[in-house]
Amino acid sequence: MSRRQFALPQRSGDGPPDDTGCTILHVDMDAFYASASLLARPDLVGTPVIIGAARGRGVVLSATYEARRFGVTSAMPMSRAQRLCPQATVLPPDHELYSRMSSAVMEIFRSVTPVLEPLSLDEAFLDVSGAIRRLGPPATIGQLIRDTVHDEQRVTCSVGVAPSKFVAKLASGLAKPDGMVIVPVDEVVPFVQQLPVGALWGVGERTEEALLRLGLRTVADIAHTPLTTLTRALGDVGGRHLHDLSWGRDPRGVEQEQRERSIGSDETFAHDLDDPALIHRHLLALSERTASRVRKAGLAGRTISIKVRFADFTTITRSRTLREPTDVSREIYETAVGLYDALGLQRARIRLVGVRMDKLLPVEQAPIQARLDEPDHGWRDADRAIDRASARFGSGAVRPASLIPREQSSSRPPGDLS
């Protein structure tokens, strides 16, 4: 959402906006992955840069604002992004760097308030009501966060300050890049009602089409439509939800940081694969990556699932729940391969596979038991040794022999496993 699409209501008088009661902050890093990658390439600052695989059929992970001016957006196919902005420099993603920087940024947020709700690696809601006495009013806290992130991590963020999560997120979008927008309590309604209906939470393509058929184009139109009309068109829950948002009502509080509900990895191949041996190699790499993230988060899980997307974009998932939680790479891989082989695919052309773990809980609460056929120093010990080596020498320093690239191979190369 850009500044050109909507603007803050005009206030009478001069001076900064009143932030009384605006205790919800939404902090959003500015083109986070691109900004982080440019720390090692200062020569590219101010130029169009796209983060993604230079070749193949991957998607855009991030793009600088210079590239976005050409229409490049996150999740856009790389082929289309490069057509829109052929002069852009394409840099490969560095997920280890992004994870480290995200952890550091979240620690900055936690130093302000423990009431923190991360939404992803690069954005979070904060409830700063308990920090006002110690750090000052919300606007001061927002500026403190921006200054600290920039000083410590050398990247920028934008902050929305408002009485509710819904309005704070809208405000941070208006603040981009590298700014802060405050929506005072008494300006919430005019601020919200100037927006197009598509700006409301919960309005996807179908809902927007339904609203447009009713002649409702702005949030103000929704606000002044009888509730019975909305519920008849959108259902009781959907109609009431949009009606409340149209008047700036969002009672949800910031949900204090919780453990991840699921962890997983997907891989889109450079070329469709139909060789089960190559699919197994990808499942191994994805299982290793997923297990490493699960262990790093201090979790273990019982449900393992795979996702398979075919060349025609048909997608299926299969899952299996284990008797005991696990964080062991080999167990995750064996389950994932078993699920895949059970599909009975015969030379089907596969575009993407993924591995995911659900039903996660802290490892100290997980009754992980040694297997009867496991030696004294088994797979769990090996995983932890690999984790220590990776922490010291970098991701991929130690990996299964079958994932080491073969210099001479008659098989088609698998997609990027980085």
The string of DSSP letters for 352-412 reads EEEEEEEEEEEGGGS-----TT--SS-HHHHHHHHHHHHHHH-TTSS--GGGSPPSS-SSP
Whether the ω angle into residue 48 lies within 30 degrees of 0, i.e. cis, is no
Residue found under tokens 């909507």: 6
Closest CA to 91 of 50, 46, 44, 148: 50
Is 28 annotated to bind a ligand? Reply is yes
Please, is 405 exposed, middle or buried when counting C-beta atoms within 10 Å of its C-beta (0-12, 13-18, 19+)? Answer: exposed
- Round to whole Å and give the CA distance between 335 and 327: 12
Q: Edge-to-edge strand order for the sheet containing 49-51?
A: 62-63, 49-51, 89-91
Q: Which residues contact 314 (CB under 8 A, 6 or more apart)?
A: none
* Residue 154 zone, left/alpha/beta (φ > 0; ψ -120 to 50; rest): left
3-state DSSP assignment of residue 213: helix
Q: Which residues of 383-400 are buried (b: 16+ CB within 10 A; e: fewer)?
A: beebeeebeeeebbeebe
* Residues belonging to the active site: 123
Binding-site residues from annotation: 28, 122
Binding-site residues from annotation for Mg(2+): 28, 122
